C-alpha cells in the first residue's frame, strides 16, 4: 500500500513538473504590457480645470412593446444585482427600498445570484419574466450576455432600467450611471499621484472580464499617461470579489515588488479594504499608499489609522434610490426618449447624458475629515 502511494507520488511529481512548466511558458507568452483594461476608446479628462461639455447624443435605448399604461398604478419590480451578499449591493437595495417606500406605488424585491455569474443572472431574470413583473432593475455581469434576456423582457412589455453596470444600450430603456468612467479614473489617479508623487503602482481588480473595472483601468491608464507619467504601472492582478483572495493578491504584490511598489489601486469595494489590510499587516503604512473604490464603513478603520488617505466612491444608496425613481418615471411615461433631465425624489433633477443614461453625479472622495458623516 505504502509502495503504491510512493509510486503515485512519483508519477504525480513528474506530471506536476510538466504541468508547471507548461503553465509558466503559457503565462510568459501571454504576458507583455497588457494592463487589464478593455479595447474601447478612452476619453481622459483635462489634468486640471473643468471637464468639457459632452456632445448631445440621440436616445439609443430600447422601448418595450405594447407596454400597458402603468401611470400612477401599483407596479411590481424585481431588482437583480450582479450578486447578493456583499455590502455594496445591500446598499443599492436599501436605496431602492427607500424610494419604493416613499412612492408607495412600487412593490420591489431584490433577488440575485450568490456569485457574480452570467448564467445564473440570466436564468433568474428569465424566471421573473415568466412570472410577469412590471419592471426590472439590473446591474449586468456582462453587457452582451445579458442583452438577449433583457430584450425578451422589453418584448413582453416590461420596463427595464439598469444601474451600476450597463448592458448594450438597446437592450434596456435607461441606465443610471453612478459617475462617468473618466471622472472616476481622474479621481483615483490624482489622489494616487498626490500621495506617492512618483514610482511603481499596481492594481487589484475583480476579474479582467468585469466591464466597469476594465473600463476604469483603461481610462486610468490613459489619464495617467497624459497627466502623471511619473507613475509607473507594474501589474494588474485579479481577485474576483473575494476578501481572502484580494488580501493574498495584495500581499503577493507587496512581497514581489518590495520597495519598488509605492501604491495599490483597489478596483472593487472588496479589494480596497483587503489591500489596506495587507499593507497594514505588512507594516508598510506610509510606504505603500492604497487608493481605491470602497464603501466608507469598510474603510473607516484604515482611514482613521492614517494608513489610507483617500477613498473614491459615489453613494450606492443614492444609486439604488435614483434607479427606482427612474423606473417609476419610465413606467409613468414621464421620462421619454429625448428628455434632458429626470426628477429623482430627494436627489432633485438628474441630468441625462450619452443618449439614454441618467447621471447620478460626480465621484466623491472620502477622507479623514468627512468619513464619519457617512454610514453605508
Q: Which residues of the chain form contacts with other proteins (CB under 8 A)?
A: 7-8, 11-12, 14-16, 19, 22-23, 26-27, 29-30, 34, 36, 38-39, 84, 109, 111-115, 117-120, 122-124, 126-128, 130-132, 142, 144-145, 147-148, 207-209, 214
In the bound state with other proteins, the residue whose beta carbon lies nearer, of 133 and 278, is 133
Dihedral over Cα of 253, 255, 260, 263: its sign: positive
Cβ burial, residue 325 (10 Å; 0-12/13-18/19+) = buried
* Distance in Å, CB of 185 to other proteins, minimum: 19
In the bound state with other proteins, the residue whose beta carbon lies nearer, of 21 and 305, is 21
Cβ burial, residue 362 (10 Å; 0-12/13-18/19+) = middle
CA distance 311 to 296: 8
* Distance in Å, CB of 303 to other proteins, minimum: 31
Q: Which residues contact 238 (CB under 8 A, 6 or more apart)?
A: 36, 205, 206, 207, 208, 249
Return the DSSP state at 60: -
In the bound state with other proteins, the residue whose beta carbon lies nearer, of 153 and 192, is 153
In the bound state with other proteins, the residue whose beta carbon lies nearer, of 150 and 331, is 150
* Distance in Å, CB of 137 to other proteins, minimum: 15
In the bound state with other proteins, the residue whose beta carbon lies nearer, of 22 and 51, is 22
CB 163 within 8 A of CB 320: yes
In the bound state with other proteins, the residue whose beta carbon lies nearer, of 142 and 277, is 142
In the bound state with other proteins, the residue whose beta carbon lies nearer, of 65 and 130, is 130
In the bound state with other proteins, the residue whose beta carbon lies nearer, of 19 and 101, is 19
CB 238 within 8 A of CB 205: yes
In this structure, the dihedral spanned by the alpha carbons of residues 309, 313, 314 and 317, taken in order and rounded to 10 degrees, is: -100
Q: What is the CA radius of gyration of the chain?
A: 23
CB 99 within 8 A of CB 106: yes
* Distance in Å, CB of 14 to other proteins, minimum: 7
CA distance 370 to 348: 23
* Distance in Å, CB of 130 to other proteins, minimum: 5
CA distance 117 to 206: 13
Return the DSSP state at 345: G
* Distance in Å, CB of 7 to other proteins, minimum: 8
* Distance in Å, CB of 183 to other proteins, minimum: 24
Dihedral over Cα of 113, 276, 210, 53: its sign: positive
Lookup result for grid cell 431602492: 96
* Distance in Å, CB of 294 to other proteins, minimum: 23
3-state helix/strand/coil string of 273-338: HHHHHHHHHCCCECCEEEEEECCHHHHHHHHHCCCCCEEEECCHHHHHHHHHHHHHHHHHCCCCCC
In the bound state with other proteins, the residue whose beta carbon lies nearer, of 60 and 111, is 111
* Distance in Å, CB of 148 to other proteins, minimum: 6
Amino acid at each position: 500500500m505504502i509502495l503504491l502511494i510512493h509510486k503515485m507520488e512519483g508519477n504525480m511529481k513528474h506530471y506536476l513538473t510538466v504541468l508547471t512548466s507548461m503553465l509558466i511558458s503559457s503565462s510568459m507568452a501571454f504576458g507583455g504590457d497588457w494592463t487589464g483594461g478593455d479595447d474601447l476608446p478612452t476619453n481622459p479628462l483635462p489634468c486640471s480645470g473643468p471637464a468639457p461639455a459632452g456632445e448631445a447624443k440621440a436616445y439609443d435605448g430600447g422601448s418595450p412593446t405594447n407596454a400597458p399604461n402603468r401611470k400612477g398604478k401599483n407596479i411590481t419590480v424585481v431588482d437583480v444585482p450582479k450578486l447578493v451578499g456583499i455590502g455594496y449591493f445591500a446598499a443599492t437595495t436599501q436605496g431602492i427600498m427607500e424610494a419604493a417606500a416613499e412612492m408607495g406605488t412600487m412593490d420591489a424585491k431584490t433577488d440575485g445570484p450568490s456569485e457574480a455569474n452570467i448564467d445564473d443572472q440570466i436564468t433568474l431574470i428569465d424566471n421573473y419574466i415568466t412570472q410577469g413583473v412590471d419592471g426590472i432593475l439590473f446591474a449586468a455581469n456582462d453587457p452582451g450576455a445579458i442583452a438577449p434576456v433583457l430584450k425578451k423582457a422589453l418584448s413582453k412589455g416590461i420596463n427595464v432600467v439598469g444601474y451600476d453596470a450597463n448592458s448594450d444600450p438597446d437592450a434596456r430603456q435607461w441606465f443610471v450611471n453612478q459617475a462617468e468612467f473618466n471622472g472616476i479614473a481622474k479621481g483615483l489617479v490624482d489622489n494616487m499621484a498626490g500621495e506617492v508623487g512618483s514610482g511603481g503602482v499596481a492594481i487589484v481588480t475583480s476579474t479582467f472580464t468585469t466591464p466597469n473595472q476594465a473600463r476604469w483601468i483603461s481610462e486610468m491608464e490613459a489619464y495617467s499617461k497624459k497627466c502623471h507619467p511619473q507613475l509607473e504601472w507594474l501589474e494588474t492582478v485579479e481577485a474576483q470579489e473575494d476578501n481572502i483572495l484580494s488580501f493574498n493578491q495584495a500581499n503577493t504584490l507587496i512581497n514581489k515588488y518590495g520597495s519598488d511598489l509605492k501604491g495599490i489601486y483597489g478596483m472593487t469595494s472588496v479589494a480596497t479594504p483587503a489591500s489596506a489590510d495587507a499593507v497594514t499587516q505588512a507594516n508598510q503604512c506610509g510606504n505603500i499608499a492604497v487608493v481605491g473604490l470602497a464603501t466608507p464603513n469598510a474603510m473607516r478603520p484604515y482611514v482613521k489609522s492614517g494608513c489610507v488617505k483617500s477613498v473614491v466612491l459615489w453613494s450606492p444608496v443614492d444609486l439604488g434610490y435614483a434607479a427606482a425613481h427612474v423606473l417609476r418615471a419610465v413606467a409613468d411615461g414621464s421620462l421619454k426618449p429625448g428628455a434632458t433631465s429626470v426628477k429623482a425624489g430627494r436627489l432633485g433633477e438628474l441630468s441625462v447624458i450619452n443618449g439614454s443614461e441618467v447621471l447620478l453625479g460626480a465621484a466623491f472622495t472620502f477622507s479623514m475629515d468627512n468619513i464619519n458623516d457617512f454610514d453605508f
